[in-house]
Amino acid sequence: MGKCRWMVVVAMACGTGLVAAQDNATRANHPMVLYAARLFDVEAGKIVTPGEVLVEGERIVAAGAEVEHPAGAEVIDLGDMTLMPGLIDVHVHLFLHPGAEDLQTVEESVPQRTILATLAAKADLMAGFTAERDMGTEGAGSADTAVMRAIDDGLVPGPRLRISGNAVDILGGHEDANHFNPAQHVLSNADRANNAEEIVAVIREQHKEGSTFVKMYETGPDSMVNGEFHTPYQYTEAELKAGVEEAARLGMNVGVHAQGEPGTLYAAEAGVASIDHATQLSDETMRLMKEKQIPAVPTFTIFEYFAEHAGSPEAAAREKVMLEYKVREFKRQVAAGVPMAVGSDVGPFPHGTQAKEFELMVRYGMTPLAVLQADYLNGARILRWQDSVGKLKAGYFADVVAVEGNPLKDITVVERVGFVMKGGVVVKGRQ
């Protein structure tokens, strides 16, 4: 009986994939024209009026104020909206949800967390995020490979994903269950590597299991002492460089959790793809990041969330001081011309709400245009999809969202996405 039930489940799953494949095949021969009052031209940095996008199959054929309308093409009139490329979030955690992070990784099984990750992926897609980088499964190993492949096969809805499996960390490092009783031998939420040789070995194992980029923890616990920010580094520049070189050999890149000096400097010297959080950057680090075009990913939303949801007044005060320091440093980074990308660190706060990151980056010093270009251009480059996502341009994936209003005048409109198309298939809005 058990075997029969399993066969039924498999048949249902295969049937779902078949339906998705048939739907995509149908769309491949069904031209569509998306029409709206406005279109955001990412490269030109301006709003085009009106806006049209011609879609055939999963790709964009043309985009601009007016495009060809092939015979038999379906026209989707979105009215007084702005057509934009699908949003990008380069720092998400599909395997986390609001609540105690340490406890959910201990109390919830990997299968349970994987199911929740598929729901998180759907929530992000429905919010307009069509491409994401999952920055570590927090102890779920290569389970993100299953989520990515299920999305790619059309079994579940979600963004295009770059995945890392677990992050890479040192013994006793940032995610090594340091607050638990050692006698309980609670597993690390990351894969341990203590030197260059071990880093290379871990990267090879993760790649074998399906990873498409590498996430490394470069700094540990953060603190403010007498107004000064402190965070210990975990890897030397040479160790990080070993990871960067091995990732490149495998066609991948490295994103690092790096809050401050000297870890952020080591990361810039090693040539990582992004420095995430980037709370503290020295003048030399900022110079290198500008020279090498290494984006900082501020992740303001998670800092604000922790400040507003602290467990005690004392903790709230500490988080507030940290956020204020981060804002001051961010303004220095913007003034120095450090490249930026948009990543929210969503997971500890609800999936599908992370578009607030755009609003916060504007509030703290960037223009709406600069934030949008950072998201689309730098985000696509971090994901290594710069030739296929982030623009409404011929040959790119037909990943399109529409918002009411003009995002260059009011960036908060991206928090209310009304239409989502991914790969030429409408997943939200007028179908």
Alpha carbons 53 and 18: distance in angstroms, whole number: 28
At 226 the pLDDT is 86
> Do 147 and 238 reside in the same domain of the chain?
yes
> Do 78 and 97 reside in the same domain of the chain?
no
Nearest to 124 by CA among 425, 423, 420, 430: 420
Q: What is the DSSP letter of 177?
A: -
Query: Looking at the domain assignment, is residue 159 inside a domain?
Result: yes
Alpha carbons 104 and 99: distance in angstroms, whole number: 7
Query: Looking at the domain assignment, is residue 375 inside a domain?
Result: no
Query: Looking at the domain assignment, is residue 370 inside a domain?
Result: no
Region of residue 122 (left: phi > 0; alpha: psi -120 to 50; beta: else)? alpha
Query: Looking at the domain assignment, is residue 362 inside a domain?
Result: no
Structure-derived torsion over alpha carbons of residues 216, 221, 224, 225, reported in degrees to the nearest 10: -130
Query: Looking at the domain assignment, is residue 371 inside a domain?
Result: no
> Do 141 and 249 reside in the same domain of the chain?
yes
Angle at 194 between CA 188 and CA 198, to 5 degrees: 100
> Do 245 and 278 reside in the same domain of the chain?
yes
Handedness of CA 368, 47, 424, 57 (dihedral sign): negative
> Do 30 and 73 reside in the same domain of the chain?
yes
Handedness of CA 27, 30, 34, 40 (dihedral sign): positive
> Do 47 and 194 reside in the same domain of the chain?
no
Q: What is the DSSP letter of 155?
A: S
> Do 48 and 98 reside in the same domain of the chain?
no
At 29 the pLDDT is 64
> Do 156 and 268 reside in the same domain of the chain?
yes
Alpha carbons 431 and 239: distance in angstroms, whole number: 50
> Do 79 and 97 reside in the same domain of the chain?
no
Alpha carbons 421 and 87: distance in angstroms, whole number: 11
C-alpha 58, offset from chain centre:
22
Per-residue pLDDT of the chain (431 residues; tens, 9 = 90+): 333 333 333 333 334 443 444 344 345 468 999 999 999 999 999 999 999 999 999 999 999 999 999 999 999 999 999 999 999 999 999 999 999 888 899 999 999 999 999 999 999 999 999 999 999 999 999 999 999 999 999 999 999 999 999 999 999 999 888 888 888 888 899 999 999 999 999 999 999 999 999 999 999 999 998 889 999 999 999 999 999 999 999 999 999 999 999 999 999 999 999 999 999 999 999 999 999 999 999 999 999 999 999 989 999 999 999 999 999 999 999 999 999 999 999 999 999 999 999 999 999 999 999 999 999 999 999 999 999 999 999 999 999 999 999 999 999 999 999 999 999 999 999 75
Query: Looking at the domain assignment, is residue 139 inside a domain?
Result: yes
Query: b/e map of 320-332 (b: 16 or more CB within 10 Å)?
Result: bebbebbbebbee
Query: Looking at the domain assignment, is residue 364 inside a domain?
Result: no
Cβ atoms 391, 42 nearer than 8 A: yes
> Do 134 and 237 reside in the same domain of the chain?
yes
Domain count, the chain: 2
Alpha carbons 278 and 261: distance in angstroms, whole number: 9
Residue type, position 294, single letter: I
At 3 the pLDDT is 35
CATH of residue 139's domain is: 3.20.20.140
Alpha carbons 276 and 258: distance in angstroms, whole number: 6
The residue out of 309, 338, 354 marking a domain boundary is: 354
**CB-CB neighbours of 269 under 10 Å:** 18
Query: Looking at the domain assignment, is residue 382 inside a domain?
Result: no
Which residue segment(s) compose the domain that 165 sits in?
87-354
> Do 53 and 121 reside in the same domain of the chain?
no
Residue type, position 214, single letter: V
State the Rg of the chain over Cα. Answer: 22
Retrieve residue 93's tokens: 């955690």
CATH of residue 68's domain is: 2.30.40.10
At 30 the pLDDT is 84
At 340 the pLDDT is 99
At 14 the pLDDT is 39
> Do 227 and 305 reside in the same domain of the chain?
yes
Alpha carbons 183 and 247: distance in angstroms, whole number: 35
The residue out of 330, 354, 378 marking a domain boundary is: 354
Cβ atoms 158, 121 nearer than 8 A: yes
Cβ atoms 407, 276 nearer than 8 A: no
Strand 190-192 relative to strand 167-169, pairing: parallel
